[in-house]
Amino acid sequence: MTRTKNELWEWVKALAIAVILAAVIRYFFFAPIVVDGTSMMPTLHDKDRMIVNKIGYMIGDAKRFDIVVFHATEEKDYIKRVIGLPGDRVEYIEDVLYINGMKFEEPYLDPYKAELIDGPLTDPFVVETVPEGHVFVMGDNRRYSKDSRHIGPVPIEKVLGKTNMVYWPLSDVRVVD
């Protein structure tokens, strides 16, 4: 009887440690996210499941063109691409991105641009300066994305982390840029 109790107690301890370890990893290091909507098409599809790396931004800064997840509201997280960093001037002219006066290529938009027949993918705009402590984010599906053009620059402290791996559906597992 004592041996059975000891064995049961060992199993309970192992299970408790596993649950606590999983919770710590999910809360502090990595978390799953489901893409909700088409604002990141063609790069990400509605219902893609991804892993958010929370560690990277604890020890480093966001980089231009990272795909990030951030708290947009208390109830909703958004997934978008970092376009402007603190201090940047961001400008779109004739469907071309300029940052601080330098032209930047966006190859991830090429599939959409090739299909267009009715104007630019990205309407012209200018952001004079991305405030310190913020990033300017945009969805890849520029015509149908609620992003920094609408909600303003995103405070860095609201950014949960970077994501670049789709793990579900299995037929679509991939690393994205």
Give the model confidence (pLDDT) of 3-50 as tens digits.
777 788 778 877 877 787 777 666 666 778 888 888 888 888 899 988
Is residue 90 included in any domain, yes or no? Answer: yes
pLDDT at 8: 81
**Catalytic site residue 80?**
yes
Q: Is residue 153 one of the residues assigned to a domain?
A: yes
Q: Is residue 176 part of a domain?
A: no
| Catalytic member of 80, 145, 148, 162 | 80
Mean pLDDT of 123-143: 91
Burial profile 120-151: b = 16 or more Cβ within 10 angstroms, e = fewer:
ebbeeeebeebeeebbbbbbbbbeebebbbee
Answer whether residue 175 is part of any domain.
Answer: no
pLDDT digits (tens, 9 = 90+) for 48-60: 988 888 777 666 7
pTM equals 0.81
The one-letter code for the residue type at 155 is: P
CA-closest candidate to residue 90, choices 40, 137, 133, 41: 137
How far apart (Å, rounded) are the C-alpha atoms in residues 21 and 138? 34
Q: Is 39 a catalytic residue?
A: yes
Rounded CA separation 27/11 (Å): 24
Give the confidence band of 126 by pLDDT, cuts at 50, 70, 90: confident
* Residue 35: CATH number of its domain: 2.10.109.10
Domain containing 42 equals 30-170
- How much is the pLDDT for 89? 95
Containing H/E element for 97?
A: strand 96-99
> pLDDT at position 88, please?
95
The answer to whether position 59 is within a domain reads yes
Domain assignment present for 99: yes
Q: How many domains does the chain have?
A: 1
Any domain includes 177: no
Q: Is residue 83 part of a domain?
A: yes
